[in-house]
Structure 1
Amino acid sequence: MAKYFSACILFTILFISCKETKKTESPQPEKELTILEKIAYANGYENWNKVDELKFTFNVDRDTSHFERTWIWKPKTNQVTAISAEDTLVYNRKDMDSTAYKTNGGFINDKYWLIAPINILWDKDGSTNEFTPSAEAPISKTSMQKLTVVYKQDGGYTPGDAYDFYFGDDYLIKEWVFRKGNQAEPSMSTTWEDYTDVSGLKIAKMHQNEDGSFKLYFTNLKVKTN
């Protein structure tokens, strides 16, 4: 009887001890997001998996000239419809002939301008990046955070190119610099402005250089979600 009583006491002590241990356990800290992830999520990356179709018109005004082309992209199937003044082409990015491959170069360019903050997260395995906590932005000359993304030399339509992204504490891109072939001097510097929310995606509709002689902007933005 004494042994049984002692065993009961021991079990009770162990049970209370376990309960106390559980009470004092600290919650596991959430994983810190990388800079690429912070920028992507600031632009609505968490809503991307809901996108069934993305339509946009890419416009460029350079001095007195105007250029535009429209894209309809179904990311889940990789079907792309390219619409220009001359022609309409439907193709799948998983199976492209020479004509589709050439057209797809324009799509890659225009899509990058549209959703680069998300695209850089997708491209993380094909690029290197470097974060600078404080740097002077090229157009506004204000101090911002800076992320430099350099693409690998092999593969893609523009291998070895570099991009400098300038952003504030909200991780929304305010300006960027494109450097062809990772050269030291900028090939182009533009703003990222006139942000709009399209089905949870934050998209900068306007990009322009310092004197406004070059403007690249998006119209007809439409997103179909599931």
Structure 2
Amino acid sequence: MKKILSAFILASITFGCKNSSENSESEKNKTPELTVLEKVAQAHGYDNFKNIEQLTYTFNVDRDTIHFERSWQWQPQKNQIKMLTAQDTLEYVRENMDSIQLKANQAFINDKYWLLFPFQLVWDQGFQHSIKENIKAPISEQPMTEITIAYDNKDGYTPGDTYKVYVDKDFIIREWSYTPSGSNEPRLATTWEKYQTFNGLKIATTHQNKEGNFKLYFTNIKAK
């Protein structure tokens, strides 16, 4: 009887160790849950960006009766950029920029934020964020999830800026507002609309304000 009891205890210990080992292995292989920021990025096709060799687009702004545009050819894997305007064409690599190219790069960053802000949520560092549910969006006044992105006072060309992003239940951005550093009130709020998919990238091609006198939109988008 004593031998049987000892064998039973040994078997129990062995089974317990195996079960513990299996649980440990399961925890190790478990995929970490995505953050809200990662979910927003992925909802817009972030996982496909690594396959993009060249992204071209034209950035357009209509403000009242004034039209402005500039075009970009961006090779993200090489970090090589070409800017095309009515006056000039400029090519540069972002790791090595002179003063003229640095100014062009400021324009590139601005336009890229409008085009791919969902990806900036995982690309960028140096910001704090907070999330609130069921907040009225500034234009549609529909309840959405509000994500506040507050950049610090050190990084980027315009440090200290704050963005409030309004996403739907599928983590797609529908509206946003921009508050410059030093201000307590948003300078601009626009829609994110007319989404189209380009080689897996889900892009809002049009942004408009509530008053209807400002429209920012993208044309000639190609993702290779």
Q: Normalised by the size of structure 1, how large is the TM-score?
A: 0.88
Equivalence for 2:95: 94
Residue deviations 1:151-177, cap 9 Å, x none? 111232111111000011111100000
Equivalence for 2:138: 138
Question: Which stretch of the first structure deviates more once superposed, 161-170 or 181-190?
Answer: 181-190
Q: Is 2:162 the counterpart of 1:162?
A: yes
Contact 1:126–1:152 at 8 Å: present in 2 too? yes
Rounded to whole Å, the distance in 2 between the matches of 1:211 and 1:156 is: 30
Rounded to whole Å, the distance in 2 between the matches of 1:121 and 1:26 is: 28
SS of residue in 2 equivalent to 1:85:
coil
Identity of aligned residues (%): 46
Structure 1 residues without counterparts, runs of 5 or longer:
none
Equivalence for 2:113: 112
Contact 1:53–1:223 at 8 Å: present in 2 too? yes
Rounded to whole Å, the distance in 2 between the matches of 1:87 and 1:20 is: 68
1:31-46 aligned at under 5 Å gives the runs 31-46=32-47
SS of residue in 1 equivalent to 2:181:
helix
1:38 deviates by 0.9
1:24 deviates by 7.8
Structure 2 counterpart of 1:85, which letter? A
1:34 deviates by 1.2
Structure 1 counterpart of 2:65, which letter? T
1:30 deviates by 3.3
Structure 2 residues without counterparts, runs of 5 or longer:
none
SS of residue in 1 equivalent to 2:153:
coil
Structure 2 counterpart of 1:112, which letter? Y
Contact 2:198–2:222 at 8 Å: present in 1 too? yes
Rounded to whole Å, the distance in 2 between the matches of 1:120 and 1:182 is: 22
Equivalence for 1:195: 195
Runs of 4 or more consecutive aligned structure 1 residues displaced over 6 Å after TM superposition: 8-26
Q: Normalised by the size of structure 2, how large is the TM-score?
A: 0.89
Rounded to whole Å, the distance in 1 between the matches of 2:215 and 2:105 is: 22
Structure 1 counterpart of 2:100, which letter? T
Once superposed, what is the RMSD of the aligned Cα atoms? 2.5
1:1-226 aligned at under 5 Å gives the runs 27-28=26-27, 29-123=30-124, 125-181=125-181, 183-224=183-224
Q: Structure 1's 24 and 104: CA in aligned 2 closer, same or farther, altered over 3 A?
A: closer
Residue deviations 1:20-71, cap 9 Å, x none? 6677889435322112111111111111111111101000011111111000
Structure 1 counterpart of 2:139, which letter? I
SS of residue in 1 equivalent to 2:141:
coil
Q: How many residues align?
A: 219
